[in-house]
Amino acid sequence: MKTLFTILLAVIFGQIVSAGTVSGVVLYQGDSTRPINSVTVALKGIDNSTIATYLTGPDGVYVFNDVPAGSYTLRGVKTLPGGGVTMLDATLVFLHILGFYPFDAIQSLAADVNGSGTITLTDYSMIMYHVLRHSPFPVGEWVFLTETFTVTDLKDSHPGGLTGSSAGDVGGVFVPGTRNLPAYPMTNAGTIKVSSEEPFNVSIKATQPMSISGTGLIINYPSDIVTIQSVEFPMSNFEYVIDGDQIRLIWNDPEGSNLNLKPGSELITIHCTANGNFTEGMKASFTLDGNTSIVSNTYTEITDAGLQAPTIEYTKPSLRLSNYPNPFGASTTLAYYLPRNGSVTLTLYDQSGQVVREYNQGEQTEGYHSMLVEGSGLTPGSYFCKISLSGSETQTIRLLKSL
């Protein structure tokens, strides 16, 4: 992964040109370790007519034999899907526009996703929304530098190689021949017991301090057994979509505000419901896709943010109580499940065990219920909330009132 202050040094394989033969290797952003396969290389004359084409294999090699002396260009075309486009690429384009990050030729071509010939805020926005919605780029999936050269009888002629990139992958992380980047690392944070048709929350939390200038989160989840209700993020100017089996969220602040997280802080909270397909013996996991990008306050990629999330496991219905958000400020919502009809009382205690508030909900039916608790009048600190069903079943949870 390239950092902000690292400029890609393209290592271009020279073509071998002898009398009548032109050969070379198509490389990903000039990297000799990443040849590009399935590229149609076109040998064109000075009038732009196509003289011959060659389809590269896994080694990226192309060969044209019996080429008469003259001037030619080489152009590459690849229609298979590209990849590797993340929030870091949008950040680098924005910094380039401001004059803080220079691009080489292939980076400039990869950044110009609308094909205008100039890198502008339109390209920045298109890359942002490609991360959010996987919107296609006007230039297509791939871009290639055009090489112009002359074939003569001089055996030491080296007109240069052919270099390409997945459109938008300014950071140059994609590996040709693969479909996806490796999953973004995230550890397990225990288990949440959930029954079918029950609402629950999944929080992805930090385990180490972080200062973030932008992020593109792509969260994989099992949509066949989990329904997403809403998403919370610590900053206000974020956008997210639910796209099949993924939650895709983008955030950055062009004004330069950072998101500062402490160990235990929530990066994102997902409000979900386990649907009727979630049955005994089943588990559900939320994972981070390899195209997830978390950009530091120094505009470099945080490759392992030390994030963790719980596993969801089925359990038979019982009396349940939870709240969100937690910690809370102005208010929090108490969500509870009743395994049978009965009289419900919710009691709030301070740390000394004194009753602070009591909510008599009266007779309620089996199923899921919720109520809003206002934070006004509660001093910052820890509280306990107990639910009682007909005086015979209880459950207690801990709440934290913030400043």
Cis check for the bond before 136: say yes or no (omega within 30 of 0). Answer: no
Average pLDDT, the chain: 91
Contact 254, 175 (CB under 8 A): no
pLDDT band at 8; cut points 50, 70, 90 = very low
Least Cα distance to 375 among 331, 341, 344 occurs for 331
Write out the residue limits of the CATH 2.60.40.10 domain(s) in the chain: 16-166
pLDDT band at 4; cut points 50, 70, 90 = very low
Contact 175, 101 (CB under 8 A): no
For residue 183, pLDDT beyond 70: yes
C-alpha distances out from residue 337 to 59, 73, 144, 202, 315, Å: 59, 70, 58, 17, 13
Structure letter (DSSP) for residue 280: T
> Which listed CATH number (2.60.40.10, 3.40.50.970, 3.30.420.10, 1.10.1740.10) goes with 16-166?
2.60.40.10
Q: Specify burial of residue 216 (Cβ count, 10 A radius: 0-12, 13-18, 19+).
A: buried
For residue 9, pLDDT beyond 80: no
Q: pLDDT tens for residues 144-181?
A: 999 998 887 654 344 457 999 999 999 999 999 876 77
Give pTM, 2 decimals.
0.78
* CATH number 2.60.40.2550 given to 318-403: yes
Q: Which residue has the tokens 């979630």?
A: 278
Percentage of the chain modeled with pLDDT above 90: 81
Per-residue confidence (pLDDT) for residue 152, from 0 to 100:
78
Write out the residue limits of the CATH 2.60.40.2550 domain(s) in the chain: 318-403
> Which listed CATH number (1.10.10.10, 2.50.20.10, 2.60.40.680, 3.50.50.60) goes with 182-316?
2.60.40.680
The partner residues of 347 in beta bridges, in order of sequence, read 358, 386
Q: Which residue has the higher pLDDT, 12 or 378?
A: 378
Contact 8, 106 (CB under 8 A): yes
Per-residue confidence (pLDDT) for residue 160, from 0 to 100:
54
> Can you tell me the mean pLDDT for 106-123?
98
> Can you tell me the mean pLDDT for 69-92?
94
